Amino acid sequence: MILAIDIGNTTVALGGIRDGRVCFVARMDTVRTRTAAEYRVEMDKIFAHRRHPERPMRFEGAVLTSVVPQITGALAECARHYTGRKPVIVSPEIRTGLTMGVDEPHAVGKDRLVDAAYAAANFPLPVVTVDLGTATTFNVVDENRVFRGGVICPGLSTGLRALGDRCAQLPQVRLGSPKSAIGVNTESCMLSGSVMGTAVLLDGIAQRIEEELGRPATLVVTGGLAKYVTPLCRHPLTYDPELLMKGLALLYQMNAPQHHAGGGKKRNQNFRRARRPHPQRRERREDEAKAG
């Protein structure tokens, strides 16, 4: 099983992936001041809850993506603890199957890179991915597998929470799917504006992207808040809540070093014998030649 770690602004998602299938996903809070040891305590609790007494949970490797640099090192240390190996850390330097067509590849959120890499490998091109989380992000990959960039907007819950915090007469509203565009009270007006507004945003941005590309694009939507929005969208789309975890599994397969039974890389013993003959055998052959 592969351990996949997605460090987001709000939560850290832990996934167990076997043969490309997501076996489980668990989450813990993103706390920027936690040490590796403190994160291990939380991870031990999560793994213990999912461990079968007769089948201990074992990870053969790990892959990690992060948008919170302060704790990337701590979680990478945790990954090494559970696997005994250095994790694959997502960056523009690793193999993704994409060509970066943006001004600053290192400034692209690593989670965006993961989504784009998986979508480009598994959906018709060009493809647009949308991740509805703390921020709403669009990623565009053209027909030549070039990552062209995208769009970043405030997340659905981020905007809704800001209204309640910054506007004295507006309450905090629980997320849900609005029944109509026209709200009949303050709460339903806010819900319509946030949720239906995000659906219209997806439709409109996708249309503008297609106009700039000059052709239709496949739209793939993911993220924890997508379930509220996708039923209200009019643009054809695919909803895949496991897009990022699947993408991490793909990048692990593309970049993890191959390990053989017995640990480490397999040595070419024949090559070593040819290059370094045993000195005693060579001296014995020389003595026999002189005597003969």
CA distances from 266 to 9, 252, 260 (A): 40, 20, 6
- Which helix (H) or strand (E) covers residue 228, if one does? helix 226-229
Of residues 6, 19, 111, 115, which has the active-site annotation?
A: 111
DSSP 261: T
Both tokens of residue 100? 């970066």
| Domain 93-258, architecture per CATH | 2-Layer Sandwich (3.30)
240 catalytic per annotation: no
122 burial level (CB within 10 Å; 0-12, 13-18, 19+): middle
Rounded distance between C-alpha atoms, residue 91 and residue 71, angstroms: 16
Q: Which residues of the chain have pLDDT under 50?
A: 53-54, 260-286, 288-292
- Which helix (H) or strand (E) covers residue 65, if one does? strand 61-66
Amino acid 56: pLDDT:
56
Delimit the CATH 3.30.420.40 region(s) of the chain: 1-89, 93-258
> pTM for the full model?
0.81
How far apart, in Å, do the first and last CA atoms of the chain sit? 62
Both tokens of residue 105? 């590849």
Amino acid 53: pLDDT:
46
SS (H, E, C) 86-141: CCEECCCCCCCCCEECCCCHHHCCHHHHHHHHHHHHHCCCCEEEEEECCEEEEEEE
Residues near 207 by beta carbon (within 8 Å), at least 6 away in sequence: 235
Nearest CA to 8 out of 24, 25, 32, 40 is that of: 32
Both tokens of residue 132? 């509805």
Write the class of the CATH domain 1-89.
alpha beta
Backbone angle region of 31, left / alpha / beta, with phi > 0 → left and psi within -120 to 50 → alpha: beta
CA atoms within 13 A on the CB side of 156: 29
Phi first, then psi: what are they for 246, rounded to 5°? -65, -40
Characterize 161-186 residue by residue with b for buried, 16 or more Cβ atoms within 10 angstroms of its Cβ, and e for exposed.
Answer: eeeeeeeeebeebeeeebeeeebeee
Residues near 87 by beta carbon (within 8 Å), at least 6 away in sequence: 3, 5, 61, 62, 63, 64, 76, 79, 80
